[in-house]
Structure 1
Amino acid sequence: MNNEIIEWMREHHITEVECILPDMTGVARGKIVPRDKFISDPEMRLPEAVLIQTVTGDYPDDSYLDVTDPDMVLFPDASTLRFVPWAADPTAQMIYECTRSDGTPVDVSPRNVLKRVLSLFDQHDWEPVVAPEMEFYLLSPNPDPDIPLAPPIGRTGRAEFGRRSYSIDAVNEFDPLFEDIYDYCHAQNLEVDTLIHEIGTAQMEINFLHGNAVALADQVFLFKRTVREAAFRHNMYATFMAKPMENEPGSAMHIHQSIIDRNTGKNIFTNPDGSPSEHFFHFIGGLQTYLPHAMPLFAPFVNSFRRLSRYTAAPTNVQWGYDNRTVAFRVPHSSPQARRVENRVPGVDANPYIAMAATLACGYLGMINKIPASEPCQSDAYELPFQFPHGSEEALIRLRECPELAEVLGPRFVRMYVALKEKEFSEYFRVISPWERKFLLLHV
């Protein structure tokens, strides 16, 4: 064990360590161990099946699982050492690397999938730079899933109503909560930046500073836990569902992305004269070509597709444009060196490792195969034809039948991911909804 880590734990009187890893849904799995046990033996073992649970805790059909149910060998990533600021006793947390007994990476680990994609960029001395934007809703506590969600009570004693987009006063309604969120983020070295009130009632957005894709995915993974825990402290819920309320907009995880040449330190999306490069247009061409096939990675649940409608301020096709928020791939105004592409398709419910791997994979395939982009859209893209799958079932078929994406992301990962989501979809389909009981029970 790294002596600096041991000293840090002793200096801060750490009593236990949360040893965690993200599963395919983005849930934190792992073990909590006493500090002294962690120091003496930081290695951990968990079944590989831990990674491939549905959101309900079930598993794909047995035919997709290893019949021996093998363990993974897990090692802590020292760069992820952080406090757990909401814990009652001094507690640390570390994200673990997933390997097999022979030392090879576990190919269905979301963190390893992202690393696999980044290794392809490494072969060209390219360094992707990403910056996610996280939208979420604050809610009144709602322990009964049959009762519709409602906004929480603010400092005025009233629940928010109407649309308060970009309102400073509306954000200030929840000042004590956001002070805790920023304090918790600071304690964990989560590099959050701007806070704004989004379009929906009690819908917020917090942006991250740009950086390395794995580091940012780690931060988003921890950020979701952080916001939920802070909200609990203030008698609220925070949700990262893509579409939690029927009459409110959905929540996205917009991902800004650019590519740096490691040899020159320059943005490869920009030519020496400051104009957009071929790499820039090919990256967009790859997104336009492959994103419809990768949709289950950006819209992982049945609920996710409720957000992707022209009536919910979300993209509906693969158009791109300059400073156009109605398109899927927006190019914000910036200096030539900061030229980037914002993917506005991912829902905030997506696993951040998988979503970042998928968007970079689409762009990579575009650059490698020199796929041309369409002309930029200069109108309202919401009025143009819908180009995405029309739900989970169609989306999974398209992902299964795209060998190019499977090759980049990993064939076994894609096969297991599709199987997991098919199981999840079948579980959902068995549930009879209130709508069906309301309109069909006595009328058909």
Structure 2
Amino acid sequence: MVNRENFSFSDLENWLNEQRVTEIECLVPDLTGVARGKILPRLKFTEDRGMRLPQAVVAMGVTGEFPEEGPYYDVISPTDMDMHLRPDPTTARIVPWAIDPTAQVIHDCYDKDGQLVPFAPRSVLRRVCDLYAAKGWNPVVAPELEFYLVARNTDPDMPLKPPIGRSGRAETSRQAYSIDAVNEFDPLFEDVYAYCETMGLNVDTLIHEVGAGQMEINFFHAHPLGLADEVFMFKRTVREAALRHDMYATFMAKPIAGEPGSAMHVHQSVVDKDGRNIFSNPDGTASKEFYWFIGGLQKYIPAAMALFAPYVNSYRRLVRSNAAPINIQWGTDNRTVGIRSPLASPQARRIENRVIGADANPYVALAATLACGYIGIEQQIEPTPECKGDAYLGDFQLPRSLGEALELLRHEKDLQQVLGASFVTVYSEVKEIEYAEFMKVISPWEREHLLLHV
């Protein structure tokens, strides 16, 4: 496996030669997490080492729409100015499903003055990581990403269904942690693991989650930027592999009614320049920073929910069902809370944010959860007493809709300062047009219950 930690442009050129690459997929993640960009011939990529795209390419909604007016254009020029995209050599990977030798390289977005475009998702995560670095700290994260395998569905009006496995039958019951249920899709997962190995993605454990056709993949802990890149690439990978086996892979937060939603649980810790986990004291007890980080999450998660739960569908997952958190309680080895501290050695002490949905942009979600913890340490925010019982018996402490979440985000100045006011403005405006588009659609529930009864 290639060590990309200090990969330079000359290293990249040598690697492209070794792999006999003829085309480059030049990628930039947009606010949704969609891979935008261009496909360039190898020679063109080598000559230019970058490309240009309009600024709004990374700042559109999931429907492909842009705001027509308002604060959005106080940040993004209405003249549709270009961004200058520069490749990050450390992100270079082979595209294992391509017919011709093809590489994919993630790019950073810069303006004409050579400054990072502040509303690009990768820029936001870089900004937060730089705040930690200025303190002599290195944040460490490990995402656990849930997703569903579903049968092909080309009609949006039809509900999704579990796919057919090797047995010729679809799952009709919940098979949490079942090895045989995972084996139903062995040919697919053999491709997924082969693709991940070719790409050098550091995936760890694969398990069957609670829902019918619901899976979870765990990533080894690492620096947030590199892991966000890997989650971004993994989503592309598993969707491509599923298509080749006549099914879909979806990261919707709540794709199937009556089944649990899908989350992206994020384990996070912070180490100092000597590699010491600052969440633990020398005697092994939990440090003040550990509690302050939790306090920051508790205070700011409600305002960050539009970043953790970015779509109208996201809030269908957050229900009192023992499958997703409904509040910001914290506890040790307690899966009913939104903020969990797993049992671990002092050096491995960490905090798990269980609120984030699988549909969240990994760059934005990691930036936001680390921002909450950072502010908690900076402001020395004390957490509430630990929840030792069933947190589902408590009150809802999270916004119940995207509209409510956006309102909280707009008014939270501390988060805006850490994430960047321009990013929060662009993100909020884009989400507003998505919400407006959703409100134009009349659902089957409305026709069933309101048509003849009101």
Using structure 1 for the length normalisation, give the TM-score.
Answer: 0.98
Aligned equivalent of 1:242: 253
The DSSP-based 3-state class of the residue aligned with 2:192 is: helix
Matched, 1:2 2:6: no
1:158-237 superposed matches below 5 A: 158-237=169-248
Q: Distance in 2 between matches of 1:49 and 1:312?
A: 39
Matched, 1:430 2:437: no
Counterpart of 1:235, as a letter, is: D
Instruction: Determine if contact 1:61/1:419 at 8 Å carries over to the other structure.
Output: no
Q: Distance in 1 between matches of 2:451 and 2:21?
A: 57
The DSSP-based 3-state class of the residue aligned with 1:294 is: helix
**Unpaired segments of 5 or more residues in structure 1?**
none
Instruction: Determine if contact 2:320/2:392 at 8 Å carries over to the other structure.
Output: yes
Q: Distance in 1 between matches of 2:117 and 2:290?
A: 32
Q: Distance in 2 between matches of 1:307 and 1:67?
A: 37
Matched, 1:339 2:349: yes
Aligned equivalent of 1:34: 41
Aligned equivalent of 1:14: 21
Q: Distance in 1 between matches of 2:336 and 2:288?
A: 24
**Unpaired segments of 5 or more residues in structure 2?**
1-7
Per-residue CA distance 1:161-220 (angstroms, 9 max, x = gap) = 101000000000000100100111111111000010000001000000000000000000
2:293 to 269, 283, 289: 283
Matched, 1:94 2:105: yes
Q: Distance in 2 between matches of 1:115 and 1:40?
A: 27
Identity within the alignment, %: 60
The DSSP-based 3-state class of the residue aligned with 1:73 is: strand
Matched, 1:357 2:357: no
Matched, 1:147 2:158: yes
Per-residue CA distance 1:347-406 (angstroms, 9 max, x = gap) = 000000000000000000100000001111110001100001120111111000000000
Counterpart of 1:331, as a letter, is: S
Aligned equivalent of 1:59: 66
1:6, distance to aligned residue in structure 2 (A): 2.3
Per-residue CA distance 1:30-68 (angstroms, 9 max, x = gap) = 000111111121220000100111000001233322122
Instruction: Determine if contact 1:23/1:51 at 8 Å carries over to the other structure.
Output: yes
Segments of 4+ in structure 1 off by > 4 A?
A: none
Counterpart of 1:411, as a letter, is: A
1:324, distance to aligned residue in structure 2 (A): 0.1
2:272 to 243, 261, 282: 261
Instruction: Determine if contact 1:267/1:339 at 8 Å carries over to the other structure.
Output: yes
Q: Distance in 1 between matches of 2:10 and 2:133?
A: 31
Per-residue CA distance 1:121-173 (angstroms, 9 max, x = gap) = 11110100000000000000001011111001100111111010000000000
Instruction: Determine if contact 1:248/1:312 at 8 Å carries over to the other structure.
Output: no
Counterpart of 1:284, as a letter, is: I
Q: Distance in 1 between matches of 2:406 and 2:170?
A: 39
Instruction: Determine if contact 1:15/1:89 at 8 Å carries over to the other structure.
Output: yes
1:273-352 superposed matches below 5 A: 273-311=283-321, 313-352=323-362
1:107 to 118, 123, 135: 118
1:441, distance to aligned residue in structure 2 (A): 2.3
Q: Distance in 2 between matches of 1:8 and 1:116?
A: 29
Counterpart of 2:57, as a letter, is: V
Matched, 1:69 2:80: yes
1:312, distance to aligned residue in structure 2 (A): 5.5
1:371 to 378, 381, 384: 381
1:384-423 superposed matches below 5 A: 384-423=394-433
Counterpart of 2:452, as a letter, is: L
Q: Distance in 2 between matches of 1:402 and 1:394?
A: 13
The DSSP-based 3-state class of the residue aligned with 2:302 is: coil
Instruction: Determine if contact 1:61/1:423 at 8 Å carries over to the other structure.
Output: no
Q: Distance in 2 between matches of 1:323 and 1:3?
A: 47
Q: Distance in 2 between matches of 1:258 and 1:321?
A: 16
Q: Distance in 2 between matches of 1:10 and 1:367?
A: 46
Aligned equivalent of 2:3: none
Matched, 1:124 2:126: no
